Structure 1
Amino acid sequence: MLKGFRDFITRGNVVDLAVGIVIGAAFGAVINQFTQSFLEPLIKVLTGGNEVGGIFKINGVPFDYGAFINAVITFLLTALALYFFVVVPVNRMNERRARAGKLAPEEMSDEVRLLTEIRDGISRR
């Protein structure tokens, strides 16, 4: 039972998935901090510079459109970064692997060429 579990965990796809999740979580934290440290203050400055910038009230109910804008920007930055740093390189790597698998057959040696000619000559008779 432990051997089967070990084989499952050490499979390449599972390890790659685990690494991807960890890197994705760390990258998500970086993007979240970027939006909190730079974009939230920028939105507050652009919407009036007060402490509650990006919020309006209707009948005393606050609508925090600044947080929504932050979430959209965070999503877009994360998606763009993942596309350019993960998807594009993986696609290039897969294309290279596909090209490597389609290499031209090796040049036949003189012996193989001679034997092929003899075989073809015998089969014509």
Structure 2
Amino acid sequence: MNQLIDVQRVRVLLMLVRRYMLLIVAVTIVGAGVGVMLDKMIISHKYSSVTKILVDRKTDTDVAKQYVGQQADADVIETYSDIITSPKIMKDAVKTLRNTDDSLFSNVRESDLVEAIKIEHSGQS
């Protein structure tokens, strides 16, 4: 008897699903449409990344050598920043971004990337 009641409940449930199938599909499509519209029109995409370069030298007791070492470290960091923002690297980055499926990057320019890159150097850190 218990199995008969369970079968009847399943039949009623399936009958309800069949009856409201059009409504279920319509609500699903409208919900997906609203989600896509929110994503494309309202939510702005922002991508960011942080990279830290650590230049570590052995400590020396001679102040002049320490100063020269710090200057060399600063020069290395400056060289890296020049390499990162060089036209060759920017062209490759733009080409890679344009080949992605994300339409946000379809019109990206080298100048946009150079402006977006921020390189900081703090003296003693």
TM-score calculated relative to the size of structure 1 = 0.31
Higher helix share: 1
Higher strand share: 1
TM-score calculated relative to the size of structure 2 = 0.31
